[in-house]
Structure 1
């Protein structure tokens, strides 16, 4: 079985804000809507998981799709 490497990139097509969760979902082959729901629920339910801060950091660190060589 051949593994194709897919980089962590922000999605241009599957985005609500910056495409971070859409890019992560595409990288792992997950449903992006379900990932967004889980991310929001975990962010609200857990004081130990600062969802907004994590999202902002990922937004800054992940290049947008097409910017990666």
Structure 2
């Protein structure tokens, strides 16, 4: 399997797309699930996780 990386097919930073590519899932479904979970948790915990992942995960070209 490939290493985890941010996707080139970005909506924001490519984090959800990177997870979807890594595990062979549909990118749209991962993004919808993550956005829905962010709304229901009040944005703070998952929003912070997304920002940290965007900083820590290497880009697709790296």
Count of paired positions: 61
**CA distance in structure 2 between the partners assigned to 1:10 and 1:66 by the alignment:** 9
Check if 1:32 corresponds to 2:40.
no
Deviation at 1:46, TM superposition (A): 2.2
**CA distance in structure 2 between the partners assigned to 1:20 and 1:42 by the alignment:** 15
Deviation at 1:56, TM superposition (A): 0.2
Unaligned runs of 5+ in 1: none
Aligned to 1:60: 55
Deviation at 1:58, TM superposition (A): 0.2
Deviation at 1:51, TM superposition (A): 1.7
Unaligned runs of 5+ in 2: none
Larger proportion of helix? 2
**CA distance in structure 2 between the partners assigned to 1:43 and 1:18 by the alignment:** 16
Deviation at 1:45, TM superposition (A): 1.0
Bigger Rg, structure 1 or 2: 1
The 5 Å alignment of 1:40-51 reads 40-47=35-42, 50-51=45-46
**CA distance in structure 1 between the partners assigned to 2:41 and 2:48 by the alignment:** 13
